[in-house]
Amino acid sequence: MKFYIKFDGIAACKVIVREHLDSLGIKYEMLSLGEIIINNKISDEDFNNLQKDLSKYSIEIVSNPKNQLIQRIKDTIVELVHEPDMPLTTISIYLAEKLNLSYGYISNVFSEYTYSSIENYFIIQKIERAKKLIIEEELTLTEISYKLNYSSVAHLSGQFKKTTGITPSMFKRIIERRRLTAKSN
């Protein structure tokens, strides 16, 4: 017996990709052909499995290596500010050592693709950490400034005010009152 098939390669490819994403329980959006946005975080293991499974169908995941580097820079900064004892190095030395690349290169790629600087991102993340420590662990500003390697409380307060436009005490008051209103509703 001999028969002929008629097929739509694009549609078939979409179905294959969809089935694999669904089976891994990944939430995604398929934009134009070949562009997929993953809505929640995907573990390295799942990503590798997806890559392996799709390669059987000659479907290759192409991701921009620069974007991957930026993600690694961001992750490294977030990890750094979450260290129980933040090491006393500068962000430039820390990143260069962790990523094994020159800081000049890292810094250029970051600025070029994010329209922001590493220093700026580092400050934002330190202030994010400070916010969390203020409301969740109820540490004093002195304790937080020590934990995040600020030279003084004044330095931390100043940077908090400069980054968010409000003082740490006003921040604390707002979050507390928000939670109270949420409870009473």
Partner 1 sequence: MADDDADDRQFFSEAISELKMENKFTVFKDGGELMDYLQHPETDLPHILFLDLNMPCKTGFDCLKEIRQTARFNDLSIAIYSTSSSEEDIENSFIGGANIYIKKPNDFVKLKKAIKDVVNINWQFHSSGMNMETFLFSI
- The footprint of partner 1 (CB under 8 A) covers 41, 74, 115-116, 121, 124, 128, 131-132, 135, 164-166, 170-171, 173-175, 177-178, 181
Based on its alpha-carbon atoms, the radius of gyration of the chain, rounded to whole angstroms, reads 23
Q: Which is nearer to partner 1, 54 or 139 (CB)?
A: 139
**Shortest separation between residue 37's beta carbon and partner 1, angstroms:** 12
**Which residues are within 8 A (CB) of 7 and not within 5 positions of it... i.e. 6 or more apart?**
none
Q: Which is nearer to partner 1, 20 or 172 (CB)?
A: 172
Q: Which is nearer to partner 1, 55 or 68 (CB)?
A: 68
**Shortest separation between residue 56's beta carbon and partner 1, angstroms:** 32
Query: How far apart (Å, rounded) are the C-alpha atoms in residues 112 and 122?
Result: 16
**Shortest separation between residue 7's beta carbon and partner 1, angstroms:** 34
Q: Which is nearer to partner 1, 15 or 175 (CB)?
A: 175
**Contact between residue 149 and residue 109 where contact means Cβ atoms under 8 Å apart:** no
**Which residues are within 8 A (CB) of 161 and not within 5 positions of it... i.e. 6 or more apart?**
167, 168
In the structure encoding, which two tokens stand for residue 52, read together?
């392996």
